[in-house]
Structure 1
Amino acid sequence: MRLFRLAASLAVCVALGACVAPPPRGPVGAPVPDRIMVPAAPADRGLDRARTFLSVAERIEPVAEVECRRRNPPSVNCDFRIVVDDRPGMPPNAFQTIGRDGRPLLAFTLALLAEVENEDELAFVMAHEAAHHIAGHLARQDVNASRGAAIFGELASQRAGATAESIRRAQLLGAQVGARTFSKEFELEADAIGTVVAARAGFDPIRGAQFFLRIPDPGNRFLGTHPPNAERIATVRRAAAEIGFRPR
């Protein structure tokens, strides 16, 4: 576990006001933050958030690593790196990507850290993002996107008057549709695996999943990327029951 070369400096950086430490840039998924930073104002609240973030990460990372190794072949990199995305104006969000060095990277915006109300909520969100890597969702999403692009491109090429540009646009659309095809299933799978990770790290995933009740419900939209919040909470409760977890 190599996350905590960052940890000691992070606590100091909160007191000083800011910390700059470039993380590796990943070729897959969302952009990797340019800096790692925890807010300093107001100082007390910033320190509390930093301590909570580090405390939760210290407990989640080793459990996520064990679960990752248990579910994957040795070739899969399970050495998680957990960082804060301090880019100004970013909305509440957490995402998983792959760093240039091949390590799975979990990033959390400052707005997201301000939204969570307790360590169980932060732990659940962190475990959920780790679960995306554990389940190989980025790679599976890429496969789905490639298939969608191939199918739409082939259909477009068979139309009378097809041009290289019209085929290219069809391929782009197909990639978008393909990438979204199983996105809801991926989210529910990450909720289930994240429940296991959070519980085994000593957190309450059911309490943590209450975070869903405070965010907009996406409903059950066609080609939506996230399932309804009620379905997600039900998935968490079911996964918790399967491992014999009892709420505190």
Structure 2
Amino acid sequence: MRRLTFLLFPLVLTACSAGVLRVQPAAEWSLDSDAFQVDAAAFRDISRQVGDEARAECLRQAKVNNCDFTILVDLNPRASANAFQTLDEDDQPVIIVTRAMIQSVQNPDELAFVMGHEAAHHVLGHIARQSENAQESAVIFNELGKLHGEGGEDLERTQKLGAEVGVQVNVKAFELEADQLGTIITHNAGYNPLVGAKYFDRIPDPGDQFLGTHPPNAARVQIVLETAKQLGLTQ
């Protein structure tokens, strides 16, 4: 599991166990995106709404016990456009959104959709499931390596390869699952996931690569459209 090992310039929003949102003060900041300006207050508002709904969905699904979300913005100008979900030292979910990611979105709906997607990864227990897949695959590759007479460093490399393959096996399915639940979280938070999903129109399409980390953009848009239709949303 990844931990927070780098410097963040945080605006922290935590949904406490009692259901009360706690906001940790942070320095004022403002970023111009492609079509609108995001400042600390705007980011806090979007985070509050998405974080609240993510926590509610987490408690409803009861797949994990730790549902107290923290949302951080990394203002490091050298960090690439990215958002991801990890865990803090108390095993609580953390969503990190980089400065470049914020600058790449065109409206609050896209930013909310990104947050909702990352929150969904935690709600669905993807970190734990990836770890289990990696361990199981490493054991299988270890046995195969032994059958071929491997030992020492060669066997260690085979185990490592097995763990990497195990992580990749379901990673595309996990992304689609997160897109589906992220659509629901975004909608429940008061944002339009159909507008948010327009972000896929501007990012490179990974295609359908073997052992790729993400499914084709078209498949991701399709799952959003199907889920939005079930929610009664139309384009």
Q: Which 4+ runs in 1 deviate beyond 4 A?
A: 37-41
Q: Distance in 1 between matches of 2:46 and 2:28?
A: 19
Tell me what 1:107 maps to. Answer: 96
Structure 2: where are the runs of 5+ without partners?
A: 12-26
Measured against aligned partners, the alpha-carbon deviations of 1:4-48 in whole angstroms (never above 9, x if no partner) come to xxxxxxxxxxxxxxxxxxxxxxxx23645422258978x674973
**Alignment RMSD, CA only?**
2.0
Structure with a larger share of its residues in helix: 1
Task: Report matched runs for 1:50-61 at 5 Å.
Answer: 50-61=40-51
Distance 1:179 1:218, change over 3 A: same
Q: Does the 8 Å CA contact 2:113/2:193 hold for their aligned counterparts?
A: yes
**Letter in structure 2 aligned against 1:58:** R
Partner secondary structure for residue 126 of structure 1: helix
The residue number in structure 2 matching 1:226 is 214
Amino acid at match of 1:35: L
Distance 1:31-1:100 versus aligned 2 partners, 3 A rule = closer
Identify if the C-alpha distance between structure 1 residues 105 and 206 changes in structure 2 by more than 3 Å, giving closer, same or farther: same
After alignment, is 49-58 or 193-202 more displaced? 49-58
Structure 1 residues 90, 30: closer, same or farther in 2, change over 3 A?
farther
Decide whether the 8 Å contact of 2:85 with 2:122 is kept in 1: yes
The alignment partner of 1:60 has SS state of helix
Structure 1: runs of 5+ lacking an equivalent: 1-27
Q: Secondary structure at the match of 1:127?
A: helix
Contact 2:38 2:102 in 1 (8 A): no
1: CA distance between counterparts of 2:168 and 2:5?
21
More strand by share: 2
Supply the AA of the counterpart residue of 2:125: G
Q: Which residue of 2 aligns with 1:10?
A: none
For 1:173 and 1:235, locate their aligned partners in 2 and report how far apart those are by CA, in whole Å: 31
Q: Which residue of 1 aligns with 2:16?
A: none
Residue 202 of structure 1 corresponds to which residue in structure 2?
A: 190
Match of 1:178 among 157, 162, 166: 166
TM-score, scaled relative to structure 2:
0.86
State the Cα distance separating 1:101 from its structure 2 match: 1.0
Shift in CA distance, 35/225, structure 1 to aligned 2, threshold 3 Å: same
Q: Quote the residue 1:240 is aligned against.
A: 228
Aligned residues: 217
Give the aligned partner of residue 22 of structure 2: none
For the residue of structure 1 that corresponds to 2:85, the secondary structure is: strand
Question: Quick check: 1:29 aligned with 2:7?
Answer: no
CA contact (8 A) 1:199 1:245 kept: no
Aligned: 1:64 with 2:54: yes
SS in 1 for 2:39: helix
Q: 1:88: how far off?
A: 4.4
Q: Secondary structure at the match of 1:107?
A: strand
Q: Match for residue 149 of structure 1?
A: 138
